[in-house]
Amino acid sequence: MLCLFFMLSDKYDIVYYLFFICLISDYLDGFFAKKLNSISDFGRELDSLADLISFGVVPSFLIFSWLNQFEPLNNLKYFSILILLFSAYRLAKFNSDQSQSNDFKGLPTPANAILLFSLYYSNYFPFDFLTQYSMIFIVILSSILMISEFKFFSMKFSNFSFKDNTERFLIIFISLILILIKGFDSLYLIISAYTLISLISKFFKKSYKHNI
């Protein structure tokens, strides 16, 4: 909610840092719930409500404000509502599916929010590649990925075996390289790499099982 308040005050530089606090909090709530043995259905629902605001409402508002700068076909800015709607669907689907422990069905809402936030704030590429049309395409594609049946790996380690965590170690390695080269401007590339590795990994695993 503070992100929204500062957006309305046109203080987008503060929103950038507040968003990372949202991400850290999203990780720590589950971590401390397990450590304190206080996992509950109430906490699960409250967690999803917080996620919907932080990773659904906030990026929707952010992309709306970005698209609002374009005069031609200005009504296209309302496509940003898809982020909120599909995030809500994704979170409800996650809560009702008890099988999503080691893997996620669909692109996780925090990952989608990172993608959109980093596109908004990034200076990695000049914005000539990011037009209102390409942004809307990214919004539609990422929204569909959120509610898809594609499996995305979780970043939680049950052990540190390379064989069991190949995708995790690979994305960590890619992330470190990209951050060293371009800092946090490369976050949307990291999320793109995460998406590609998830899709390719599951495809090869299916092919391997089929051949066996």
Q: How confident is the model over 191-206, as pLDDT tens digits?
A: 999 999 998 877 665 5
Q: Report the pLDDT value the prediction gives residue 104, as an integer from 0 to 100.
A: 85
CB atoms closer than 10 angstroms to residue 151: 18
Measure the CA–CA gap between 166 and 187, rounded to whole angstroms: 20
Q: Report the pLDDT value the prediction gives residue 183, as an integer from 0 to 100.
A: 83
Q: Report the pLDDT value the prediction gives residue 99, as an integer from 0 to 100.
A: 60
Q: Report the pLDDT value the prediction gives residue 29, as an integer from 0 to 100.
A: 83
Burial class (CB in 10 A: 0-12, 13-18, 19+), 35: exposed
The answer to whether residues 55 and 110 touch, using CB atoms and an 8 Å cutoff, is yes
The answer to whether residues 15 and 33 touch, using CB atoms and an 8 Å cutoff, is no
Q: Report the pLDDT value the prediction gives residue 58, as an integer from 0 to 100.
A: 95
For the cut 70, the answer to whether the pLDDT of residue 173 exceeds it is yes
Instruction: Write out pLDDT tens, residues 50-100.
Output: 999 999 999 999 999 999 988 777 788 999 999 999 999 999 888 777 665
Q: What is the reported pTM?
A: 0.85
For the cut 50, the answer to whether the pLDDT of residue 210 exceeds it is no
Instruction: Write out pLDDT tens, residues 122-131.
Output: 765 545 678 8
Q: Chain-wide mean pLDDT for the chain?
A: 85
Spans of all domains in the chain: 2-155
Mean pLDDT of 5-27: 92
The answer to whether residues 83 and 143 touch, using CB atoms and an 8 Å cutoff, is yes
